[in-house]
A and B are shown apart, each in its own frame.
Chain A
C-alpha cells in the first residue's frame, strides 16, 4: 500500500497514522486467527488444551522464521523462491559437518547462518546488481542450490544418531510448557520486526519497496539495501534449516523442498503485500501460525486430507482479499483525514 500523500501530514498525524496502519495490518490476520481458533474450539474442545496449542506453535515455529525471511524480501518488492533450497543446503552441510565433529558446541549455529547468508547474498547480487527479475533469479538459484546439495551428499542422509546430542535435545527442551524452539522462533521474529521498525536500514527497506526509483533519487543506496535484505533473509533461512534438522532428526537432501510456496503463503496471509512496501514480519509469523492451526484443526476434526489443500487455498485468497479491502479502507481514511485537514484550515 503506497499511501497517496497529497499534502504531507504533520508530525503528530504522521505518528498516529503509522501506528494506525501498522496495527491494522497485523490485526487483520490476528482476527482471522482468533476466529479460526474459536471455530475449532467450539467443534472440538480439546483444541484449546495448552498441550495442543503448544503443538500448533511447535509446528509453526520453523515456518515462522522462513515466512519472516520471505517477508523481509517481499517488503523490498522482491521475492525469493529459493528459500527451501537454502534451508536444505545449509542444513545438510551443517549436519554433515556436525556428524564428523561431534564435540562441537553451540558455535555450530554460526555455520548455517553464514551459509544461508552467503547463498542469500548471491541471490541479492543477481537481483540488485545483475538486474535480473527476482522470480527468475531465485528460480535459477533454487535449482542450483538444490543440485549442489545433492552433489555434496552423494546419496547419503544424515540421521539423528550422528548429530551431536545437544542438537537433538535443544528443540524439545521446554521452559514451562512452551518449547524452546517456539521461544527461539518468536525471538527471531521479534528481533526482525524491531529491526524493520526502528532501525534506519529497516525503514529504508520499506522505502525501497514502496518505490525503488524514488528512493534512489532520494539518495538511498537501493541496490545495497536489496542485497542486505536478501542476505538477512538467507541467513534466517539457514537458521530455519538447521532448526528443521534438529527437530525432525533425519537430514535428507530434499529437506524443505516445497517451502518456497508455503512461506509465500504464510507471508501473504499475514498481510505482507506482494507489491512491496507494506506489511510486517509479525504478520508473516502469524500467517505461519494460521496455516499450522488449519492443519491441526483439520486433523482434530478428521477432515479428509483433500479438503485441507482446498481450505488452505481458500484461506490464502481470503487473506489477500482482506488485505486489499483493508488497504483501500486505510487509503480512504487517509484521504478523509487530509480533506478534514484542508477544510479545517
Chain B
C-alpha cells in the first residue's frame, strides 16, 4: 500500500504548486491606483477622491491622488507623465481636453496600465473604461426637469456652459435643444441664448446679469457648470429678479442651500461625486484583478454602490441624478 500515499502526496504537491502559481499570476489585491482630477481644491473632485480612496482601502489597494491647482491642459499631461514614470497598475482621471491627454494615455496602455476616465472622458481609444455620471441625454433631461420645476409654464431659457470646447457641456446643450424641439413635455421652453463663463464665478455672475438685461422675458438660466449655477442664482437674487427668473443646473448642495431655503430657487441637480470616484476605482480594481472585462453588456457589482452594466464603447453609466429641492438639499449623501 505504499503507492497510494505516494500518489496522494504527489497530487497534493502538484495541487499546492498549481495554487501557488495561479495565485502569483492572478493577483487580486495590492494594486497601485493613481487618480488625477481636472484640478485639485474643488470640493467636487475632493469628494470623488475620498470615494476613490475608500474603495481602494476596502479592496486592499494603494491610492495616490495628485494634480495641478488649476485646470491647465499641459499641467494635467505633465501629471499623467509623472504618473507613468511611477509605474502604477492603473490611472484614473477626469480629462480637461479629451485629445490632449490621448498620447500619454495611449503610452500608458501600451505599458499595460489600465486607464479609466470619470466625469470627463478622453478619446475612446486612449482609455479602457469611462465612468460617466449620467449619459449626456440623461443629464440634459435632468436639467430640463429642474427647469420645469422652476417654471412649469415654460418660457425663454438660456444656456451657460464653460466654453465652446468643453465636450460634455456642448453635448448637454445639444440634447437639451433636441428635447425642447421634439419632446412635448419640454416644448413649453424656447431657447434664446447660449453664453460661456469658463467655470469662473465672477464671469458667471456677470454673464447672468447681462443675460437678464438682454432678454427681458427670460425665465430660466440653465448652467451645465457647477460653478456657474450658484453664481447665476446669486445674480438673480441680487438683481431683484427672484421669482421672475430662475437659475438651475448642476451645483453642489452647499453652494445653493441658501437659495433653495429662501425660496428664490426651487431645484438644482447633481450626482454623488463620492460614489462616482468610488465606482471608478472599484471598476478599475475589478479589471486589474481580471474579474471585469469591459465589453458591452457585462454586469458587475461595485461594492456598496450597486450593480452596473457596461455600455457601448466601454462606458459605465452611474446614472443616479440627485435633485436638490427644499426637502432634499439638507440630506446630501456626501
- From A52, A156, A179, B43 is in contact (CB under 8 Å) with A156
CB distance from A253 to the nearest CB of B (A): 5
User: Contact flags (1/0) for B210-238 with A, using CB distance below 8 Å?
Assistant: 11111010000000000100110010011
Check if A145 is an interface residue, CB within 8 A of chain B. Answer: no
Residue of B whose beta carbon sits closest to that of A257: B70
Report B200-211 CB contacts with A as 1/0, cut-off 8 Å.
111001110111
CB neighbours (8 Å) of B255 from chain A are: 157, 159-160, 249-250
Which A residues, 103 to 159, have Cβ-Cβ distances below 8 Å to chain B?
146-147, 150, 153, 155-157, 159
CB atoms of A249 and B41 under 8 A apart: no
- Whether A248 lies near B209 (C-beta < 8 A) is no
Residues of A within 8 A of B214 (CB): 44, 46, 299-300, 302
Instruction: Please indicate the chain A residues that have their CB under 8 angstroms from the CB of B193 in the complex.
Output: 299, 302
Report which of B195, B230, B254, B257 forms a contact with A299, defined as CB distance below 8 A. B195
Closest chain A residue, CB of each to CB of B40: A155
By the criterion CB–CB under 8 Å, are B43 and A296 in contact? no
Contact, CB under 8 Å: A249 / B234: yes
> Chain B residues in contact with chain A, CB under 8 A?
39-43, 46, 69-70, 163-164, 193, 195-196, 200-202, 205-207, 209-214, 216, 227, 230-231, 234, 237-240, 252, 254-255, 257-258, 261
4 pairs of A and B residues whose beta carbons are closest in the complex: A299-B210, A172-B238, A155-B46, A159-B254
B69 touches A252 (CB 8 A): no
Residues of chain B within 8 A of A157, CB atoms compared: 42-43, 255
Highest count of chain A CB atoms <10 Å: which of B69, B240, B252: B69
Q: Is A256 an interface residue (CB 8 A)?
A: yes
The answer to whether A55 has its CB under 8 Å from any CB of chain B is yes
A4 interfacial contact with B, CB 8 Å: no
Q: Are A247 and B213 in contact (CB under 8 A)?
A: no
Selected from B43, B206, B239, B254, the residue in CB contact (under 8 A) with A295 is B206
B257/A248 in contact, CB under 8 A: no
* Docked complex Cα distance between A147 and B41 (Å): 11
A172 to B235, CA, bound (A): 9
Total interface residues in chain A, CB < 8 Å: 44
Do the beta carbons of B231 and A58 come within 8 Å of each other?
no
CB<8 Å pairs between A and B, sample of 24: A55-B209, A58-B209, A59-B206, A59-B209, A150-B69, A159-B230, A160-B258, A161-B258, A171-B238, A172-B237, A179-B238, A249-B201, A249-B231, A249-B255, A250-B230, A252-B201, A254-B39, A254-B70, A258-B200, A296-B210, A299-B211, A300-B213, A305-B163, A305-B164
Alpha-carbon distance A214/B306, docked complex (angstroms)? 76
Q: Is the CB of A161 within 8 A of B257?
A: yes
A4-59 residues with Cβ-Cβ distance < 8 A to B are 44, 46, 49, 51-52, 55, 58-59
Q: Does A226 belong to the interface (CB within 8 Å)? A: no
Which A residues are CB-close (under 8 A) to B238?
58, 171-172, 179, 247
Assembled-state Cα–Cα distance A257/B41 (Å): 14
Known pairs A155-B41, A155-B43, A159-B255; A300 contacts B234 (CB<8 A): no
